[in-house]
Structure formats: C-alpha cells, structure tokens
Amino acid sequence: MNQIAVAGATGYIGGRLIPLLLEAGHDVTVLSRNSDKLRDVPWRKQVRVLEGDLADEAAAAELCNGADTVYYLVHSMSSNTSGSEDFGRMERLCARNLSQAAREGGVKRLVYLSGLHPQGELSRHLSSRKEVGEILMASGTPTVVLQAGLVIGSGSASFEMVRHLTDVLPVMPAPKWVLNKIQPIAVTDALHYLVGAADLPPEINRTFDIGGPEVLTYAEMMKVYADAGGFRRPVVLPLPVLTPWLAAQWVNLVTPVPRSLAIPLVESLQHDCVAREKDIDAYIPEPEGGLTPYRRAVELALHKIEADTVETTWATAHALSAPAEPLPSDPEWAGLTVFTDERTQETKARPEDVWKVVEGIGGENGYYSLPFAWTVRGWMDKVAGGAGLVRGRRSPNHLQLNDTVDWWRVETLERGRLLRLRAEMLVPGRAWLEFEVTPSTQEGNKSGSTYRQRAIFFPRGLSGRLYWLGVLPFHGIIFKSMANRITAAAQQG
C-alpha cells in the first residue's frame, strides 16, 4: 500500500482517479480549494481531505508530507472565472510550490496530466501545460508527465464542447482549423495510464504521449458523436474569417461551457494534437482489450446519462462509479441539457391525503389545471401519431409500475411518497412528470405535508430547445395551477 496524495480532487480527472486508487489499496489524501464540493462523492469517507490551494506553500507542504506519490491534477484555467490571462502565472507558482514541497517532503514520484501538443509555438493553454511539466521534471523528484489528447467522458470540458455543439447546431460555421488532426482518448484509458504511472521505476523522469487508437478531425468527432447519439450529422462549414477569439465567443454563446474555458480550449484547436511516440507501451501495457475507439468512448459517456439522469439530477446521493459517467463534483454545465419546472408547496393536508390525489391523477380525474389545454394538447399528439389522452388508466385510484396514465407511463412508484411518470407523447426529446409527498418539517405544520412537483425535459437537438421555449409560458400557468389545486383538493379530503 502506498501513501498517495492528489491535488485537484474536485476536478474532472481527479474525481475519477481517486476511487481507482482506493480500489488498488492505496491510502489517499486529497487537496481541494473547496472541500464542500466533495460532500456527495461516494468515496468521501475513505480519504483524508485537506482544504487549501497549491498557491499556498504551507498547503503544498502538508499535502506532500508522508506521501510516496503525488498527482498534480489542478489547472488554474478551470478556476479562472474572471477570464483573466493570469492563469499561466498561477500555474507556474503552483508547480514551483509543489516541486519544492515534494523535494523537501521526500516524495518518490510526481505524476502530472498534460496535453498533447506539436513542436513550435503553442496556444496559451498548451504552453502553460507544457511549462508546468518542465518545472515538475526539474524538481529533483522523479516525474511522469502524461500528455493526453482530448479526454472523452461526461464532464470533460472538451467533450462537452463536442456534445453541445452537435446537439444544438444542424449547421455549424467553424474556423478552418476544425479540420486539424486530434487524437482523443477515452477517460477510462487516461485513468489506466495514470494509475499505472505510480508504479514506474524511479529512474523515469520524462514525458509520455498517450492517445486513443484513432486520429480524427474535430469535424469528424462531431459527426461520430451524432451517429452515437442518434442525431443527424451536422454540416460543418470551415470559414477562414473566424478567428480563435470569434470562434470562442460562438462556443460560449451556443454551449454552457464557460467563456474562461472556451477561449483557451478553442485556441488550442489551432494545433494538431497527435501522439508522436508510444513509448508508454514499454512500461504500462494497454488496457485489457486494447484502447477504446472514439465512438465507443462516446457511447460510454452517453449510456448512463440516458438511463439515470432524471434521478441523479434530482439528488446527488447516488454513487456513480464508472469513469465515463457524471459525478456530483462535476461542474453544473457538464452533461446533457435539462430543462425543469419545479414547484414546492406546504399544505396542512396529511401526507396520505395528498398522496391519494397524486395517485389518482390523469384519466377521468384529469390534471387539476386548464383541462381544455390538456385536451387540445392530447388531440394534437394523437393527430401527429402519438398516444394522445385516450388511453386513460387501468384503475381510477391505484397505480402499479408500468401502468399507462393517458400519454404517460408509471416509471417509478414508491407508494405514499414518490410517483414518476415518463412521457410517451411525441416530443423532440424525453420528458417526465414527478410528484413527491413528504411529512412537513415546517414549524407549525407538523401534521401537514410538503408537496413537490417537477416537470423534466431533455431536449433533442435544436428542435427540442425551441419546443421548450415555445411551451414555457404555458407551463408557468399549467404547472402552478396543478400544484395549487392538487394541494387544495387534498385539504378538502
């Protein structure tokens, strides 16, 4: 068992590496600028948590104290919310502090994840990553610098750019360097090499290029993503007039990736990012079954989201262990776009009385809000070839899993507490309607209830986003009225 320290535990890679290190039997200490972000991660109680910043020499020394191996996975660009260009200066400071702390603390191995890059002039982002690696390798502590291409997995900023641009834009104007060569790597493969790097011989002090089995252009990556996600392939139009700065503003406008990340990432796409050597194979064998093809990496990033996102965006208490899946510590902009309408009401009605109304929703009982609007929407769906509202219910008062309720199907049923209905109407996306009833914790209403209602919509492409915007004004009326009338009906008994 090794004593391992990880700087950057709340980052995309750090949050996925730590459970693998624990699984391998290592004793792990982590450093985070904000330890609250680790509150809901499944491995929180298995690690020692230090709160601090590598810009602080004392924090760097505490992290390295007693550690055999230290992973440097922080990146000042990710916390550069102001858009300042000083992230390079901060990177140098943090790298020098860690170098000194590792040397004085007797650390046996440093491991750093950098980026693939060509020779010659680089973007600010890649130049900074390269410089950090050089500082660490000159520290006197044996250092492995793994230089990776775009990491493919939900939560990776580079992958999120691909995801949202492809989801939203059927036609994408892009800089001409969207045709440059890129060698993406699945997050599972990047983690494989990171875990293996801790056991390399002590004489190893160098960089290693790591990448997936394919070299693609950014345009090809978007088209393969579209195939894997079931979208129509976007038409990519390379335009020489789009400068990196203009392209970054466009990415920031169309995707939720913050401007502070979008600009340096887009600037980096001016370069071919392809592995120039595969020396790592002599020290760390490829994963069993070989490196993950790009399309498979995308499918891994999408699969769990498709299955479980409704539940995991409602509460982050679920342990998501697969590296390609989302984690509670991921940024809010990571993952599929989701629109919600949430209503919470306190009522003096008992929980069992509120539940009785909830379980009887739909069919002849209706939806407690603007019945004519529901009827018209049902006719429209039926004419378009959907289920409409004519299916009704099996029982007027009781539900079972998989029951139909008009154009809904009962997906989750925890009798007395939770009902989740999955939409089977024709919409450009996937939709749910969820009801939760719990005893009230509000002072003066101990015998009453808290009623929560949530409509969830995952849009599919541009049409899905336009659909949500089109119905949004009606949702404000319909769902507010639904919550008010359901709780009122429960109080009347």
Structure tokens at 6: 């990880």
User: Structural domain boundaries of the chain?
Assistant: 3-311, 339-492
The whole-number pLDDT of residue 335 equals 59
With cut-offs at 50, 70 and 90, classify the pLDDT of residue 429: confident
The whole-number pLDDT of residue 258 equals 67
Measured CA to CA, the distance from residue 224 to residue 236 in angstroms comes to 13
Nearest alpha carbon to residue 83 among 300, 341, 235, 259: 259
Question: For the chain, give me the number of helices (H) and strands (E)?
Answer: 13, 19
Structure tokens at 332: 């809010």
The whole-number pLDDT of residue 59 equals 94
The whole-number pLDDT of residue 434 equals 93
The whole-number pLDDT of residue 135 equals 96
113-125 pLDDT per residue, tens:
998 888 877 877 7
With cut-offs at 50, 70 and 90, classify the pLDDT of residue 144: very high
Nearest alpha carbon to residue 11 among 95, 85, 77, 65: 77
Nearest alpha carbon to residue 90 among 328, 260, 334: 260
Provide the sign of the torsion angle of the four alpha carbons 71, 77, 80, 86, taken in this order.
positive
Please check whether residue 90 is in contact with residue 82, taking contact to mean a CB–CB distance below 8 angstroms: no
Q: Find the mean pLDDT for residues 171-185.
A: 82
**pLDDT over 60 at 268, yes or no:** yes
Please check whether residue 351 is in contact with residue 491, taking contact to mean a CB–CB distance below 8 angstroms: no
Range name among 51-60, 184-193, 234-243, 312-321 with the lowest pLDDT average: 312-321
Range name among 160-174, 175-189, 442-456 with the lowest pLDDT average: 160-174
- Torsion angle in degrees (nearest 10) through CA of 342, 343, 349, 355: -30
* Between residues 157 and 417, the one the model is more confident about: 417
Range name among 30-44, 91-105, 348-362, 430-444 with the lowest pLDDT average: 30-44
For 457, the 3-state DSSP assignment is strand
pLDDT above 90 coverage of the chain, percent: 45
With cut-offs at 50, 70 and 90, classify the pLDDT of residue 71: very high
Domain 3-311 architecture:
3-Layer(aba) Sandwich (3.40)
Beta-carbon contacts of residue 308 (< 8 Å; ≥ 6 apart): 318, 320
CA distances from 470 to 160, 385, 476 (A): 25, 21, 12
Sheet architecture: strand order including 408-414:
339-347, 449-459, 429-439, 418-423, 408-414, 404-405
* Between residues 493 and 369, the one the model is more confident about: 369
* Between residues 305 and 492, the one the model is more confident about: 492
The whole-number pLDDT of residue 316 equals 32
Measured CA to CA, the distance from residue 454 to residue 25 in angstroms comes to 42
The whole-number pLDDT of residue 428 equals 85
CATH class for the region spanning 339-492: alpha beta
With cut-offs at 50, 70 and 90, classify the pLDDT of residue 445: confident
Beta-carbon contacts of residue 63 (< 8 Å; ≥ 6 apart): 5, 7, 29, 31, 50, 52, 54, 70, 98, 101
β-sheet bridge partners, residue 456: 340, 432
Please check whether residue 440 is in contact with residue 434, taking contact to mean a CB–CB distance below 8 angstroms: no
The beta-strand segments (E) located in 387-447 are 404-405, 408-414, 418-423, 429-439
β-sheet bridge partners, residue 48: 29
Mean pLDDT for all residues in the chain: 84
Please check whether residue 449 is in contact with residue 443, taking contact to mean a CB–CB distance below 8 angstroms: no
The whole-number pLDDT of residue 320 equals 35
